[in-house]
Amino acid sequence: MRQARRTGGLGIIIGALMLGMLLAALDQTIVSTALPTIVSDLGGLKELSWAVTAYMLSSTVSTPLWGKLGDQYGRKKLFQAAIVIFLAGSALCGLSQTMGGLIGFRALQGLGGGGLMVLAQAIVGDIVPVRERGRYQGFFGAVFAVSSVAGPLLGGLFVDHLSWHWVFYVNLPIGVLALAVISSALPPGTERTHHTVDYLGMVFLGGAAACLVLMTTWGGTAYSWGDPVVVGLGAASAVLLLLWWQAEKRAREPVLPPHLFRLRAFNVASLIGSVVGFAMFGSLTYLPLFLQVVQGVSPTMSGIHLLPMMGGLLVTSIASGQIITRTGRYKVFPIVGTAVVTLALHLLSRVGPDVSTLRLSVYLLVLGVGIGLVMQVLVIVVQNAAGFEDLGVATSGATFFRLIGGSFGVAIAGSIFTSRLGDDLARLSRTVSIPPGLERTVQSDPTVIRALPGETAAAFLGAYADAISHVFLYSAPVALVAFAAAWLLPEVPLRETTRPADPGECYGAAPSARSSLDEVERGLWRLADADMRRDYYRRLGDMAGMDLPPGAVWLLARLGTQGPQAGAELAGRAGVTLERSRPYGDLLVACGLASRDDDGVLALTPAGERAAARLVLDAREGLGRLIRDWNPEENPKLRELLRRLSHELLGAVADQPRNG
């Protein structure tokens, strides 16, 4: 696929991939501010949380399957299929006439969304040279960050100025554009990687998660906890988890290897991640309901009210990553972060109909700050604890549990809200004289409260505020458990390649299904990029004992790794003019390290080849020192990685010559 530069234009393809990922990322949050209006139109307040849960659950569970099938059968056709599935789900969501239909179509949309996220990141690895991949992956991290902030705001704007249907219809033109560009510009994949897809593991794990979510959603609301339906779901989830455990022991490439659970760091990080997912997505689901129903703000304004939370999350996640990079210490952040999240949830549990905008904004800012302090750390913890052979699955596993925690959190929050609201309205009907049937009407369409007489409206608004505050009240002890667990995180010196790469890794992204080798390569290139900004070729020449300026060292390395090239081509690759680059070629010729033919093509002499070989060896040893914690001398795959990257690194980008 690396011919993409010539066949379709790399920038166009990257833009299309970012559009596809933006669609999938936005749909995790864009629905939140539209949900109160959707409920008013379709009814089904009890099922409100499922409009979020269905999407998150199906996208999370399906991503490992998309990743493995993409490796086996090529990613272009699968990415096209994911777009089509996502667009079909979006159109059907917009056409929904019942809450049940919307929930089912959201699950279909999530199935396509999972493919968009995991395949877009994988395709970048196919079409972008390794030396430039980190920069483009950073763009995708920015997509997740932007979608977290823009989703609630855009949802409110569409509801206010168009209708809630456009929350889904907006995907259609963007998705069609992405599909057209990918179809015409992206070349078919030529490489295939054979994998044994763990179908049983995915089915059993996904089924167990679905049963648990249904049990927690229906228990105590639609059915009593002792009802055969709820008991049956609990038993089914237990059986499916047992079957999954047995299947993973026999699978050649398990989706989540059981021996990972013997790592304390993995277990603790997974628990904390689940709580963080609960706090973030639970808040995004029910805060707009509080703002629009209880405080009476517009959907657009409810999105604006959520900006302090997202702002705090963005700032602290980036800041914590920078501090961890400099100090190598990470344990303090989940401890402080979970404490702040617990405090924020407690504060939010005390809000009522009369809460001021400033006070609520401060509470949301505190919540965002706490979440941001934790999110960046979790992937670092598991990467630092896992062995090389488990690095890839441990990384995707940490993300998986955060998203599954979000699915459970939204479902459980919905159960708490529905149960408490039912109790409050029943109590209200006994103390306030209300017309028959009004209680059910208010549950079906909360917007009618604003049309009620003053005292009656205030009573109903109080019931809604109390039900939503109880969502946060019962969430606070869960966050406290995560705070206690954070003290159990082991803190060991960070491997260089596990230091924070970019904040995009934490913004609701689906597990990216990278292999262990991919994870090491990604970190190694990031470290090499940073090193090359510090006069790399001057230092490399000194190590090799060469009295040459940086530009000449770069040229020698380029010819040694890429073979003879014309002067104009070398200058273009170095990003300088031919006149500026020519003296370095003349110097190599004068030193007997290179020769130039009549066409201006430079080639190394035998002495030049020996000198270039020394540069490659020194570069390889330098890369080896960066990953010495992984013991590359004991792993043939890592040794081959060092050999390959040393050739790809040298001469890839010029270290700008200084003082000639």
Q: What is the pLDDT of residues 524-546, one digit of tens each?
A: 666 666 666 667 777 777 777 77
Sign of CA dihedral 530, 125, 110, 478: negative
Domain with CATH 1.10.10.10 in the chain: 516-649
Return d(Cα 438, Cα 381) in angstroms, integer. 52
| 581 in Cβ contact with 568 (< 8 Å) | no
Question: What pLDDT score does 211 carry?
Answer: 83
Mean pLDDT of the chain: 75
Of the pLDDT bands very low, low, confident and very high (cuts 50, 70, 90), residue 340 is very high
Of the pLDDT bands very low, low, confident and very high (cuts 50, 70, 90), residue 339 is very high
Q: Check pLDDT > 60 for residue 313.
A: yes
Return d(Cα 413, Cα 17) in angstroms, integer. 34
Structure-model confidence comparison of residues 169 and 297, the more confident one: 169
Sign of CA dihedral 613, 615, 616, 620: positive
First to last CA, the chain: 38
Question: What pLDDT score does 336 carry?
Answer: 92
The CATH number assigned to the domain with range 256-494 reads 1.20.1250.20
Q: Check pLDDT > 80 for residue 184.
A: no
Q: Check pLDDT > 50 for residue 7.
A: no
| 188 in Cβ contact with 93 (< 8 Å) | no
Model confidence pLDDT, tens digit, residues 364-393: 899 888 888 887 677 778 777 776 666 667
| 476 in Cβ contact with 346 (< 8 Å) | yes
Model confidence pLDDT, tens digit, residues 201-234: 878 887 887 788 778 777 766 677 778 888 888 8
Q: Average pLDDT of 327-353? A: 87
The segment with the largest mean pLDDT, out of 53-67, 294-308, 325-339, 555-569, is 325-339
| Stretch among 101-110, 239-248, 507-516, 517-526 having the lowest mean pLDDT | 507-516
Structure-model confidence comparison of residues 653 and 597, the more confident one: 597
Q: Check pLDDT > 80 for residue 362.
A: yes
Question: What pLDDT score does 100 carry?
Answer: 81
Q: Check pLDDT > 80 for residue 609.
A: yes
Question: What pLDDT score does 94 carry?
Answer: 85
Contacts of 137 by beta carbon, 8 Å cutoff, 6+ apart: 121, 124, 501, 502, 504, 522
Return d(Cα 38, Cα 31) in angstroms, integer. 9
Nearest to 370 by CA among 302, 309, 304: 309
Question: What pLDDT score does 499 carry?
Answer: 55
For the domain made up of 1-186, the CATH class stated in words is: mainly alpha
Token pair in block for residue 306? 């959520």
SS3 (DSSP) at 391: helix
Question: What pLDDT score does 131 carry?
Answer: 52
Question: What pLDDT score does 3 carry?
Answer: 42
Rg (CA), the chain: 28
Question: What pLDDT score does 430 carry?
Answer: 67
Of the pLDDT bands very low, low, confident and very high (cuts 50, 70, 90), residue 481 is confident
Token pair in block for residue 111? 């199935």
Q: Average pLDDT of 619-633? A: 73
Q: What angle, rounded to 10 degrees, do the helices at 578-590 and 550-562 form?
A: 80
Return d(Cα 142, Cα 320) in angstroms, integer. 17
Model confidence pLDDT, tens digit, residues 392-429: 677 677 777 877 777 777 777 777 877 787 777 777 76
Token pair in block for residue 629? 């914690």
| 268 in Cβ contact with 380 (< 8 Å) | no
Domain with CATH 1.20.1250.20 in the chain: 1-186, 256-494
Of the pLDDT bands very low, low, confident and very high (cuts 50, 70, 90), residue 458 is confident
Interior/surface letters 39-56, b for 16+ CB within 10 angstroms, e for the rest: bbbbbbbbbbbbbbbbbb
Return d(Cα 153, Cα 488) in angstroms, integer. 38
Would you tell me which CATH number, out of the four given (3.40.640.10, 1.10.10.10, 3.30.360.10, 1.10.357.10), belongs to the domain 516-649?
A: 1.10.10.10
| 392 in Cβ contact with 515 (< 8 Å) | yes
Token pair in block for residue 256? 């989540």
Q: Check pLDDT > 70 for residue 71.
A: no
Question: What pLDDT score does 155 carry?
Answer: 77
For the entire predicted model, the pTM comes to 0.71
Return d(Cα 607, Cα 51) in angstroms, integer. 68
Tell me, what amino acid is at 526? R
Model confidence pLDDT, tens digit, residues 254-276: 777 788 888 888 888 888 888 87
Residue position matching structure tokens 């949802």: 155
Of the pLDDT bands very low, low, confident and very high (cuts 50, 70, 90), residue 132 is low
* Element containing residue 565 per DSSP (H, E): strand 565-566
Contacts of 468 by beta carbon, 8 Å cutoff, 6+ apart: 286, 287, 289, 290, 294, 417
Structure-model confidence comparison of residues 535 and 96, the more confident one: 96
Residue position matching structure tokens 């380029």: 558
The segment with the largest mean pLDDT, out of 31-40, 345-354, 498-507, 548-557, is 345-354
Contacts of 143 by beta carbon, 8 Å cutoff, 6+ apart: 18, 21, 22, 25, 504
Return d(Cα 565, Cα 522) in angstroms, integer. 29
Of the pLDDT bands very low, low, confident and very high (cuts 50, 70, 90), residue 435 is low
Structure-model confidence comparison of residues 196 and 381, the more confident one: 381
Token pair in block for residue 379? 């992937």
Q: Average pLDDT of 587-616? A: 81
Return d(Cα 294, Cα 18) in angstroms, integer. 37
Of the pLDDT bands very low, low, confident and very high (cuts 50, 70, 90), residue 576 is low
Beta-strand ranges (E) seen in 340-460 are none
| 432 in Cβ contact with 459 (< 8 Å) | yes
Question: What pLDDT score does 96 carry?
Answer: 83
